[in-house]
């Protein structure tokens, strides 16, 4: 029969072709390899208040670390793992071990966040070279950690690294962490100080850390997230922080980063803070400055405006004055009712200090009796701008 050899040959060809195709089991094995693993964010927030050779800063750095841990929890997507340390490690060896432990298992698509609130120092070597370091301390032991050493540890961690520094001279340290895998937020310039504020034994924080939180939790959602996707880049965040933080000159590297750094928190403290704080035009005339700004409140709140003049050696906090908001609730001055607010604050020339410059602090008060101050903004106002 002539057809039988043809059928046998065709069957053999089909069997040969089928042997080259992947089986269902092989497809099942191959499929996960085409899916990108989910991003894991590992975070370490360190706050140091107790020192051997430097001034104690309690409770500011402890509160800073707690605030950052909460911000990491609320503003990072997916799988986020957070570790917080207060007053320690006190040695470089212990910190290296902690960093290895917290960021172990990091992959190339993961992100590692490291936050420091501590003293920073800078000094001149005999050869004229400037050196800078973070102070590590647990109250009994103390060591200086230079940024080149910290970078050598972080370089071993795969993936992106985000370094946030609320410490004096942090801008000098930021310059060590250049490269596509690093994002750096530093609270002041190389020759500047970072400032903390405190009110009693339990209340206080760093102005830079407060500005970072205010930008993510209370700034206008439209301004921070114009495309509505909830993502905030370093460039977007830097722009808002500079608007509401003027006590020092923050440093952000790289300046033109459009990659997502944070997500706008779902919990944005709508009922606890001033919302949508934004500044308009500042006009000068008749020996005074007129500073225009807008904000919104979801409940009545006490607000005051503090002016700290700039002297020959920096901000003269001891010469600052406080002005209550123009609204009042009965006999209580400065209590602002719920709603949208427009303000024009007029500042006379003599209140600007010897250099014609002052720091404007907008402070709200919380707590049962309205006695807990919260810095909403520190903005520089200058005559002649």
Separation CA 106–CA 116 (nearest Å): 20
Contact 184, 177 (CB under 8 A): yes
Q: Is the same domain home to 285 and 368?
A: yes
Read off the pLDDT of residues 192-230 as tens digits, 9 standing for 90 and up.
999 999 887 888 999 999 999 999 988 888 888 887 888
Closest CA to 134 of 48, 254, 44, 64: 48
pLDDT at site 61? 98
Please check whether residues 249 and 286 belong to one and the same domain.
no
Domain boundary among 206, 233, 263: 263
- Final residue of a structural domain among 263, 285, 320: 263
Residue 34 scores a pLDDT above 60? no
pLDDT confidence of 77, banded at 50, 70, 90? confident
DSSP for 72-86 reads: HHHHS-SEEEEEEEE
Q: Looking at the chain, list the stretches that DSSP marks H as alpha helix, in order from N- to C-terminal side.
A: 3-20, 24-30, 60-75, 92-102, 147-154, 170-174, 207-217, 221-224, 234-244
Handedness of CA 337, 373, 334, 360 (dihedral sign): negative
Q: Which of 172, 262, 252 is nearest to 208 (CA)?
A: 252
Range of the domain at 93: 40-263
The predicted pLDDT at position 17 comes to 37
pLDDT digits (tens, 9 = 90+) for 303-337: 999 999 999 989 999 999 999 999 999 999 999 99
CA 81 to chain centre: 17
Which pLDDT does position 27 carry in this prediction?
44
Residues 138, 82, single domain; the answer is: yes
> For the residues 253-271, what does the mean pLDDT come to?
81
Same domain, 300 and 231: no
CB 260 within 8 A of CB 186: no
Whether 130 and 187 map to the same domain: the answer is yes
Compute, in degrees rounded to 10, the torsion defined by CA atoms 38, 41, 42, 44. 180
Q: What angle separates helix 147-154 from helix 92-102, to the nearest 10 degrees? A: 30
- Say if residue 12's pLDDT is above 60: no
Domain final position from 212, 229, 263: 263
Tens digits of per-residue pLDDT, 264-274?
A: 886 655 556 78
pLDDT at residue 109 above 50? yes
Residues 277-282 have a mean pLDDT of 94
Domain assignment of residue 10, yes or no: no
**Number of compact structural domains in the chain:** 2
Q: What is the CATH number of the domain that holds 351?
A: 2.60.40
Task: Note whether 183 and 213 are same-domain residues.
Answer: yes
C-alpha dihedral, 57 to 59 to 62 to 67, nearest 10°: -120
- Mean pLDDT for 247-254 is 97
If asked whether residues 203 and 331 sit together in one domain, one would say no
**184 and 99 both lie in a single domain:** yes
Q: CATH code at 94? A: 3.40.50.1460
Query: At which residue do the structure tokens 């301390």 appear?
Result: 137
Asked if residue 269 is part of any domain, the answer here is: no
Give residue 385's pLDDT: 60
Q: Is residue 20 part of a domain?
A: no
For 34, other C-beta atoms within 10 Å of its C-beta total: 6
Strand partners, 293: 279, 343
Query: Mean pLDDT in the chain?
Result: 88
CA distance 92 to 148: 12
Instruction: With a cut of 90, say whether residue 183 has pLDDT above it.
Output: yes
The contacts found for 347-352 with CB under 8 angstroms, 24 or more apart, are: 347/288, 347/289, 347/290, 347/291, 347/307, 347/381, 348/287, 348/288, 349/287, 349/288, 349/289, 349/383, 351/307, 351/309, 351/321, 352/289, 352/309, 352/310, 352/381, 352/382, 352/383
Within a domain: residue 33?
no
In a domain, 282, yes or no: yes
Tens of pLDDT, residues 129-149: 889 999 999 999 999 999 999
Q: Which one, of 294, 243, 301, 292, lies nearest residue 270 by Cα?
A: 301
């Amino acid at each position: 029969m002539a057809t039988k050899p043809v059928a046998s040959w065709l069957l053999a060809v089909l069997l040969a072709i089928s042997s080259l195709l992947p089986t269902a089991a092989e497809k099942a094995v191959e499929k996960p390899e085409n899916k990108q693993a989910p991003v894991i964010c590992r975070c370490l927030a360190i706050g140091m208040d107790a020192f051997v050779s430097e001034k104690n800063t309690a409770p500011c750095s402890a509160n800073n670390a707690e605030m950052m841990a909460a911000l990491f929890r609320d503003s990072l997507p997916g799988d986020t793992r957070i570790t917080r340390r207060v007053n320690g490690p006190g040695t470089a060896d212990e910190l290296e071990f902690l960093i290895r432990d917290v960021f172990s298992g990091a992959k190339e698509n993961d992100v590692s966040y490291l936050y420091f609130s501590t003293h920073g120092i800078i000094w001149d070597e005999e050869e004229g070279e400037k050196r800078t370091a973070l102070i590590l301390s647990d109250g009994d032991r103390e060591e200086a950690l230079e940024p080149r050493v910290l970078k050598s540890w972080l370089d071993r961690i795969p993936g992106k690294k985000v370094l946030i520094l609320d410490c004096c001279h942090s801008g000098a340290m930021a310059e060590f962490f250049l490269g596509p895998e690093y994002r750096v937020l530093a609270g002041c310039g190389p020759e500047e100080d970072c400032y903390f504020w405190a009110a009693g034994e339990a209340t206080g924080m760093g102005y830079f850390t407060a500005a970072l939180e205010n930008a993510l939790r209370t700034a206008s959602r439209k301004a921070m997230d114009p495309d509505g996707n909830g993502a905030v880049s370093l460039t977007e965040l830097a722009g808002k922080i500079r608007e509401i933080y003027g006590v020092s000159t923050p440093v952000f590297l790289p300046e033109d980063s459009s990659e997502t750094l944070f997500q706008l928190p779902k919990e944005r403290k709508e009922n606890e803070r001033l919302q949508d704080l934004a500044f308009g035009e500042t006009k000068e005339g008749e020996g005074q400055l007129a500073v225009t700004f807008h904000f919104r409140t979801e409940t009545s709140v006490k607000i005051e405006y503090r002016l700290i003049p700039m002297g020959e050696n920096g901000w003269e906090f001891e010469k600052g004055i406080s002005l209550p908001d123009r609204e009042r609730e009965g006999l209580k001055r400065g209590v602002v009712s719920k709603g949208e607010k427009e303000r024009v604050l007029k500042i006379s020339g003599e209140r600007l200090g010897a250099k014609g410059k002052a720091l404007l602090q907008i402070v709200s008060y919380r707590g049962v009796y309205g006695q807990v101050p919260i810095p909403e903004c520190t903005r520089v106002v200058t005559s002649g701008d």
